[in-house]
């Protein structure tokens, strides 16, 4: 197109000065560029750049864009009938890779930094179930005693309970090595402390079943190796049957309700026959590491 118009109109652009201009401009350009390149190690980013202009939530990949480069998050795209909210151009399968790359390269402090964690977490991996934060040992664990708002890492909770709650009467705290413990029917839980690794276990005594109580064991911790408990309950009456159960120990950072899954049912008659308290023995042992056969990533 340019060629034909040049021939027809006779407006041939002047070609002579071209080499002279290029020779002069090149070194100047390099010099100014060298002095204006910013130090990227000190970059600060306006957080609004990283949030969707439609829902105002932080972007998560995939991010889509119209042909003018206006980004939209995947959540909002459906509500827009695949039209850009700014220029009304179609917005469909064109990804906003530069913005996705920025997110992929970003590291943020662990959510539990204020509890002492120094780890950085990849921004795009934060929401992942098996990411660092799901198993962070600094994640706070909450004290189970009513009216106590203490929360700290698992080892700190251990020290807190021993210091603040072990002196109650009847005692709701003991060492796991000192079982059996006498468990009154009306006591909702008994704390079992394991000194070797500062673990806190709760022997839960739930009133969530009719005509009896449900006994189970949980560990108050963020994460750790799988463990198995065995529990045996015996009444005080001579000749009374002993009850027993075993199962894996669920981990909770905050105990809010009784587990609805596995528990040992202790009927009311059993408590009555033993003067309102039963004797409970609890053993917890670590499970051998699982064999690498279950692939949970398979859909």
Q: Using CB under 5 A as the criterion, which residues of the chain lie in contact with Zn ion when the complex forms?
A: 52, 54-55, 66, 68, 70, 73, 76, 84, 86-87, 89, 110, 112, 117, 119, 136, 143, 145, 148, 150
Shortest distance (Å) from residue 112 CB to Zn ion: 5
For Zn ion, give the closer residue by CB, 89 or 107.
89
Shortest distance (Å) from residue 156 CB to Zn ion: 11
Shortest distance (Å) from residue 47 CB to Zn ion: 15
For Zn ion, give the closer residue by CB, 54 or 228.
54
For Zn ion, give the closer residue by CB, 76 or 166.
76
Shortest distance (Å) from residue 151 CB to Zn ion: 9
Shortest distance (Å) from residue 135 CB to Zn ion: 9
For Zn ion, give the closer residue by CB, 56 or 210.
56
Distance CA(177)–CA(163), nearest Å, equals 18
Tell me the Ramachandran region of residue 288: left when phi exceeds 0, alpha when psi lies from -120 to 50, beta otherwise.
beta
Shortest distance (Å) from residue 117 CB to Zn ion: 3
For Zn ion, give the closer residue by CB, 12 or 149.
149
Shortest distance (Å) from residue 118 CB to Zn ion: 8
For Zn ion, give the closer residue by CB, 68 or 285.
68
For Zn ion, give the closer residue by CB, 52 or 154.
52
């Amino acid at each position: 197109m340019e060629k034909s118009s040049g021939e027809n109109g006779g407006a041939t652009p002047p070609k002579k000065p071209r080499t002279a201009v290029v020779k002069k401009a090149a070194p100047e350009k390099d010099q100014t560029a060298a002095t204006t390149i910013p130090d990227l190690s000190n970059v600060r980013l306006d957080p609004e750049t990283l949030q969707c202009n439609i829902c105002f939530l932080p972007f998560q990949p995939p991010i889509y864009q119209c042909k003018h480069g206006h980004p939209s998050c995947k959540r909002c795209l459906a509500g827009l009938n695949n039209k850009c909210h700014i220029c009304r151009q179609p917005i469909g399968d064109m990804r906003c890779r530069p913005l996705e790359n920025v997110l992929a390269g970003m590291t943020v402090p662990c959510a539990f930094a204020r509890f002492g964690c120094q780890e950085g977490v990849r921004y795009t991996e934060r929401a992942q179930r098996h990411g660092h934060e799901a198993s962070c040992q600094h994640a706070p664990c909450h004290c189970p005693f009513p009216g106590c708002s203490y929360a700290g890492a698992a080892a700190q909770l251990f020290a807190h309970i021993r210091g603040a709650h072990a002196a109650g009467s009847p005692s709701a705290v003991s060492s796991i090595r000192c079982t059996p413990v006498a468990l009154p029917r009306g006591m909702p839980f008994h704390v079992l402390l394991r000194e070797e690794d500062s673990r806190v276990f709760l022997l839960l005594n739930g009133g969530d079943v009719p005509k009896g109580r449900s006994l189970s064991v949980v560990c108050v911790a963020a994460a750790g190796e799988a463990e198995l408990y065995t529990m045996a309950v015996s009444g005080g009456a001579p000749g009374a049957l002993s009850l027993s159960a075993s199962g894996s120990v669920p981990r909770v950072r905050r105990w809010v309700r009784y587990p609805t899954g596995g528990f040992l049912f202790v009927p009311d008659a059993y408590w009555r026959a033993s003067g309102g308290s039963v004797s409970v023995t609890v053993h917890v042992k670590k499970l051998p590491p699982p064999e690498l056969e279950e692939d949970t990533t398979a859909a």
